[in-house]
Structures are given as structure tokens and as C-alpha cells.
């Protein structure tokens, strides 16, 4: 189940994403860049909307974040876990 068309709520204020990433070993430069990206997404507008038109054009199923995370867990230093439903 994906989140396309659903609202995603990020809990915490500006800088909370970057601070959490640094606390888990991500470099300050990467954490700052990701924090700025989250801030831009939270502003809304066209850049915060998911566009799957290319997926549709080439008949490719969009990847959910859960699928991406499980497939790439080792690259980020984690391990893939069993899928949990998103009520």
C-alpha cells in the first residue's frame, strides 16, 4: 500500500530531520541538505507533489517508500524487516 494521494505528517520543527540524522551518524553536510529538502517539501506547491506520469507512460509500477527502504536497507547500514501495514 502506498501513500500516493495521502497526506504525510512530519512531526518536529525546522531542523528536526537533520538533527535526527546527525544523531544516527549521517554527516552534517548530508543531514543539512536533506533537512533543507524536507523544509521545501513542507512548503507545499508543485515540487511537493508526486508525479507518476513517467511511470504511467512506460507502464512501470511506482515504488513505495517501504519497498525502496526494504530493497536498499543494506546500502544505508540497516537490515530489511517484514512489511507492516499502514492503517
**Cell 515540487, located at residue:** 47
- What whole-number distance in Å separates Cα of residue 57 and Cα of residue 44? 25
**Whole-model pTM above 0.75?**
no
Q: What is the pLDDT along the chain (87 residues), one digit of tens a residue?
A: 455 666 666 666 667 778 888 888 888 998 888 888 888 877 877 767 788 899 999 999 988 888 988 888 888 887 766 555 544
- 57 alpha carbon, distance to own chain's centre: 23
Amino acid at each position: 500500500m502506498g501513500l500516493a494521494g495521502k497526506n504525510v505528517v512530519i512531526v518536529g520543527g525546522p531542523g528536526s530531520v537533520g538533527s535526527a540524522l546527525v544523531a544516527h551518524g549521517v554527516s552534517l553536510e548530508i543531514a543539512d541538505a536533506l533537512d533543507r529538502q524536507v523544509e521545501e517539501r513542507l512548503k507545499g506547491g508543485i515540487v511537493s507533489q508526486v508525479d507518476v506520469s513517467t511511470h504511467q507512460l512506460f507502464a512501470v509500477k511506482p515504488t513505495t517508500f517501504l519497498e525502496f527502504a526494504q530493497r536498499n536497507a543494506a546500502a544505508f547500514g540497516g537490515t530489511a524487516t517484514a512489511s507492516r501495514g499502514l492503517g
